[in-house]
Amino acid sequence: MRWFTAVLAILGVAAAGLWWFAARIPASPFDDRPASAAHATPPEQREYAARLADCVACHTTEHGAPFAGGRAMGSPLGTIYTTNITPDDDTGIGAYTLAEFDNAVRRGVARDGHRLYPAMPFPSYANLSDADVEALYDFFMTQVKPVRQDNRPTTIAWPLNMRWPLAFWSLLFSDDGPYEPSPDRDDAWNRGAYLVQGPGHCGSCHTPRGFAFQEVAFDESDTAFLSGALLDGWYAPSLRNDPNTGLGRWTENEIIGYLRDGRNRHSVVFGSMLDAFNNSTQFLTDADLHAIAHYLKSLPGDPDRDGPPWQYDPATAERLSNGTAPEAPGAAIYMAQCSFCHGTDGRGRGPWIPSLAGASSLLSSEPASAINLTLNGAGRAVAKGIPDIYRMPALRAKLSDHEIAEVLTFVRAAWGNTGGPVSAEAVAELREDTDAASGEVIILQMR
C-alpha cells in the first residue's frame, strides 16, 4: 500500500509539474517595462518593422479592415482563422502590455495564457530582436485603427483543438532566439540571415514540415531549410541554389529584382508570395534586399534531390510551329489557351509574362502551384502603386479537370521540363478546395 501511495504521489507531482509548464506565462525581457511607458520607437522604425514582418498578409481579409483577422488558414487538422490584432481592447490586442505582446509574437502564448497554433509563425519570430518587437508593438498600438470584430473559432474538432499540448510542441519544435550573428560571416550575410529566418519568416512556407506540422529546419545548418514545401494548395519552391526547383539559375541581382519589382526573367510573383510582395518586400531598403539575396545565394543546392540542371530543348517549339505537336494530348489546348501569351517556345514575353520553359513549378514533382494557377489565375501585383497589366486568367470555367490535367502534363514535359504528369483527380481536389483569384488587392497604407 505504501508503494502504491508513493507511486500515486509521484504521478501527482509529475502531472502538476506538466500542467504548470503547459499553463505558465513565459518570461519576457519586457516584464519590468511599465504599462504606462511612452511609445518611444520612431514612426519610421515602426512602419519598417511592420513591413518586414508582413503581418497584414495573414491578418487581413480581402474586404475586411486592416489587421482585423478572419482569414482562413488550412491545416491538416482543420481550418484556423487568423485573429484580430488591432488595438481594440475587447476583441483585439489593445489591452496587451509589451511583455504580453512579446510572448504572443516570439513564444506563441496569448495574454490569457492559451497557446497559439503554429499557423502563427512564432517559431520564426522567435529570432526577432528586442528592438523590432518593440517597434511592432508601438506600430500596432499607435498606428493601427482599433476594430471591434470577434475572432472566429477554428474547425478543428476536440480533442485535437486543445491548446495546452502546444506548450510541449513549442518546447520540441520552436526555435530559441533572438538571432545570434555568426562571427564567421560578413554583416550583409548576417543581416540577410536575420531577415530570412526572423521577420521574413520565409521558412514558414518554403521549409518542409514534419509529422507534427513543425518546420524540420530553422537555419542553414540543415539542407532541408528552405528546400521547398507544399502548404495550403501551393508549392513554395526551394530558395536554395537548386538549379531546377530553386534559385540556382538566379543571380543576386535577379533575386533583388524579383523582391523589389515582383518579377524577373525567371518568374512573376503569385500565390502567397504575391501578398508578401504587395505589402512587404517591395518596401525594403536596397541594403536589406541585397542582404537577403546575398544570404540565399550562400545556401547550397542538393543535386541528389534536384536532379541534373534543366536545359532548354527546342524540339517542342519546332513541333508546335510546324503543327505536328497538337497530336500530343494537351498540345491543342496549349495552342488555343496558352500560346498567345507564353509562345510556342514557352519563353513568355520578357519580364511581364513569365517563361514556362524552365519554370520551377513545371520542374517540381509537386504540381500544386501549376494546377492552382491554371484553375484560379493569379492575383494582381501592385508595384510602386501601379497594378500590373498582364495577369494569368482563371481557366476553371473554360477547361474540365481532364483538360487541365492534359495541358499541364504537356507543359511539364515540354521545352526540357521534367515535372511529370498531372492527374485529373489532383485537379478536381484543388478545384473543390480553392476559389478563383480576385482582382482585388490588399495594400497596407502606413499613413
427 backbone dihedrals φ, ψ, rounded to 5° = -65, -45
Cell triple for 192: 540577410
Is the CB of residue 421 less than 8 Å from the CB of residue 328? no
Tell me, what's the pLDDT at 76? 79
Tell me, what's the pLDDT at 141? 96
- Alpha carbons 4 and 246: distance in angstroms, whole number: 59
The label of the residue with cell 536532379 reads 307
202 is in an annotated binding site: yes
Is the CB of residue 215 less than 8 Å from the CB of residue 207? yes
- Comparing 24 with 377, the larger pLDDT belongs to 377
39 is in an annotated binding site: no
**Tens digits of per-residue pLDDT, 250-301?**
999 999 999 999 999 999 999 889 999 999 999 999 999 999 999 999 999 9
> Which DSSP state fits 284?
S
Residue 333 scores a pLDDT above 90 = yes
Q: How would you class 143 by CB atoms within 10 Å of its CB: exposed for 0-12, middle for 13-18, buried for 19 or more?
A: middle
58 is in an annotated binding site: yes
201 is in an annotated binding site: no
- Alpha carbons 95 and 205: distance in angstroms, whole number: 31
Percent of the chain having pLDDT more than 90? Answer: 71
- Alpha carbons 48 and 356: distance in angstroms, whole number: 35
266 is in an annotated binding site: no
Cell triple for 132: 523590432
**Tens digits of per-residue pLDDT, 51-101?**
999 999 999 988 899 999 999 888 878 889 999 999 999 999 999 999 999
- Alpha carbons 250 and 263: distance in angstroms, whole number: 12
Tell me, what's the pLDDT at 74? 81
Global model pTM greater than 0.85 = yes
206 is in an annotated binding site: yes
Tell me, what's the pLDDT at 312? 96
205 is in an annotated binding site: yes
Q: Parse the chain into domains and list their residue ranges.
A: 37-146+163-177, 227-433
> Which DSSP state fits 162?
-
- Alpha carbons 387 and 268: distance in angstroms, whole number: 13
The label of the residue with cell 513549378 reads 361
The label of the residue with cell 518596401 reads 283
| Fold type of domain 227-433 | Cytochrome Bc1 Complex; Chain D, domain 2 (1.10.760)
Name the pLDDT band for 328 (thresholds 50, 70, 90).
Answer: confident
6 backbone dihedrals φ, ψ, rounded to 5° = -65, -40
Residue 289: strand, helix, or coil? helix
